[in-house]
Amino acid sequence: MFNIFRSKPASVTPDSILQQILGATPKTTSMAPKDSRGVYGLVDHLGNLRYIGSTSSAAETFYKRIHQRHRTGSETTSHYFSRMYNTGRMWRLRNDPATKADGDIAKKLRNAFIAEYCRAVWVPLSDDLDIAGLEAAVIDLAPKEAVAWNRRGMDAYQEPVDLVDLVIDRLRFSHSERAALDRQKARFGGSMATYAEPVASPGQCVPKFPKGPFRFAALDVETANNDRSSICQIGVACVRPDNSIETWVTYVDPQTSRWVFTGLHGISNATVTGAPSFAEVLPILEEGLRGLTVYQHSGFDRSAIRAACAAIHRSEPNWGWKDSVAVARRAWPELKGNGGHGLASLKGYLGLSFEHHDAGEDARAAAEVVLQAEGAKTLPPTIILTDEEDFDVIERPETPRKLSSEEEGLAPLTTPTHASQQGKRLVGFSVLTEGNLNNNHFYLRDV
């Protein structure tokens, strides 16, 4: 039925895709195609279409995006099956070492529940089409109830107790596993169930900013067009002293009719209708971020805040800005020339889970980059060579490299015997030439 989109791409319109999605027969997530991309919809356990998305990334297929991402991905990002059914006995707090064992059992239950009772629909499209742009147009046309999950528009469901009981029986969970699930349900009903990020949707006021204390924050913005003052979404990831992250997100009405980047982030004029202006959002940000170090991933976000402030004749907030790109460069120099230190590259290298070009998701990712970089400073251990030297040597256990014939001809290295040399370590060598010395080209990059 969908082959027409492959053979006649000129006939593809947002309306035709929407009609296909609304009229398609929902199927289990495991049946999603492994060899095609396009626009898809997620159907809840009650049979209602609730989310429309796309495999805009060339690296993803329907199967990977729906069955592996939305079903089994992180609950706190844009993996919407995981997010909407992170409830009751299926609930877990991401990255919480104290409850990890119980949380893993709860996630296993949730994955099985979604595979059993949730469904999806999909419309394959040719790879040469602007899939992201078509997705954004389809979302704008869709009935509100069909995109109720989009941009975190709904809270997680209450636990479907009877259906969950059936899944537990099918999985043959032991008494201890059932006890773990009961503990998770109790935690969900307690103060720990505060992971959901507030979002200002059209027609709503600015969401309440989380209360600290925080160690630092990361901020990201999306803009409507090349004018950096045209901010249409702001996300802030607040990192607490225990390194847990609480994310605050709001749409912003940039009050412009020129939308250039909708195909990139999915936000359009219809999305921000009724959302607060930047002038309304700024006081909330100023209060919430006062005295904090604020990370941005590159210099774009600060320049956008500065431009938006200038547009309303306000001075830029006096935040302690830092760049998480610079942090990543110091922590993982091996990525230079090998993918780089942008969020897309770090996502795969560090195993981050987020939806790029969503302000809340990108802010959280930048915060996680900083947290992982902090860990990289202590693992593996650092040894100071001498009291006088101003750099650390990071020891990485490696298999000794076989010397080249040229290197084998060098004089053998001897073990230091002088008292002043005891405790020092050979960390490597570099072949110097006249050009190295005469032109100041001798660096400690290998170190």
Residue 124 phi, psi (nearest 5) = -65, 140
376, 409, 429 - which closes a domain:
376
Q: Which residue has the higher pLDDT, 266 or 20?
A: 20
Query: Do 180 and 233 lie in a common domain?
Result: no
pTM of the model: 0.48
Give the domain-ending residue among 341, 359, 376. Answer: 376
Range of the domain at 276: 207-376
Residue 318 lies in a domain: yes
Is the confidence at residue 149, as pLDDT, over 90?
yes
426 in a structural domain: no
172 and 219 within one domain: no
Structurally, the chain folds into a number of domains equal to 2
- Give the C-alpha separation, 38 to 43, whole Å: 17
Residue 361 banded pLDDT, cuts 50, 70, 90: confident
Question: What pLDDT is stored for residue 384 in this prediction?
Answer: 32
d(CA 212, CA 236): 13
**Is residue 58 over pLDDT 80?**
no
Residue 129: which residues within 8 A CB-CB, separation 6 or more?
9, 12
CATH number, domain containing residue 257: 3.30.420.10
Shared domain check, 169 and 235: no
Give the whole-angstrom CA distance, residue 184 versus residue 215. Answer: 28
Residue 369 has pLDDT above 80, yes or no: yes
Indicate whether 331 pLDDT > 60.
yes
Mean pLDDT for the stretch of residues 176-180: 90
What are 421-429's contacts with CB under 8 Å, separation 24+? 424/385, 424/386, 425/383, 425/385, 425/393, 427/385, 427/393
207 vs 439: which has the higher pLDDT: 207
pLDDT of 425 strictly over 90: no
Considering the domain boundaries, does residue 271 fall inside one?
Answer: yes
Q: Mean pLDDT over residues 103-108, rounded? A: 93
75 and 94 in contact (C-beta within 8 Å)? Answer: yes
Alpha helices in 66-190 (DSSP H): 80-84, 100-117, 131-141, 161-171, 175-188
What does the mean pLDDT of the chain come to?
A: 80
DSSP result, 54-73: E--STT--HIIIIIIIITTS
Query: For residue 428, is pLDDT > 80?
Result: no
* pLDDT over 50 at 374, yes or no: yes
- Half-sphere exposure in the Cβ direction for 94 (13 Å, CA): 19
The amino acid occupying position 243 is: N
Residue 119 contacts by C-beta under 8 Å, 6 or more apart in sequence? 26, 27, 28, 29, 42, 43, 47
Q: Which residue has the higher pLDDT, 72 or 331?
A: 72
What is the C-alpha separation between 324 and 341, in angstroms, rounded? Answer: 9
Structure-block tokens of residue 117: 């009772």
Looking at the structure, do residues 173 and 290 belong to the same domain, yes or no? Answer: no
Per-residue pLDDT averaged across 417-421, rounded? 46
Whether residue 394 lies inside any domain: the answer is no
DSSP 144: G
Listed range (5-19, 49-63, 94-108, 228-242) with the worst mean pLDDT: 5-19
Number of C-beta neighbours around residue 68 at 10 A: 16
- Asked if residue 298 lies in contact with residue 369, where contact means CB atoms within 8 angstroms, the answer is no
Task: Look at residue 288 and tell me if it is in a domain.
Answer: yes
For residues 59 and 182, membership in a common domain is answered with yes
Contacts of 159 (CB under 8 A, 6+ apart): 87, 88, 89, 90, 185
State residue 395's pLDDT score.
36
Say whether both 104 and 247 belong to one domain.
no
The reply to whether 167 and 232 lie within a common domain is no
pLDDT band at 378 (very low <50, low <70, confident <90, very high): very low
Contacts of 329 by beta carbon, 8 Å cutoff, 6+ apart: 335, 336, 341
Which is higher by pLDDT, 17 or 412? 17
CB 125 within 8 A of CB 5: yes
Q: Are residues 182 and 211 in the same domain?
A: no
Report the pLDDT averaged over residues 318-332.
Answer: 89
- The confidence band for 26, taking pLDDT boundaries of 50, 70 and 90, is very high
Average of pLDDT values for 386-394? 34
| 184/211 same-domain check | no
Identify whether 411 is part of a domain: no
Which of 185-194, 276-285, 322-331, 349-358 is predicted least confidently? Answer: 185-194
On whether residue 391 sits in a domain, the answer given is no
Mean pLDDT of 273-296: 92
Radius of gyration of the chain (CA): 26
What is the pLDDT confidence band of residue 78, given thresholds at 50, 70 and 90?
confident
Residue 441, pLDDT > 50, answer: no
Looking at residue 298, its pLDDT comes to 83
Same domain? 30 vs 90: yes
CA–CA gap between residue 116 and residue 112 (Å, rounded):
6
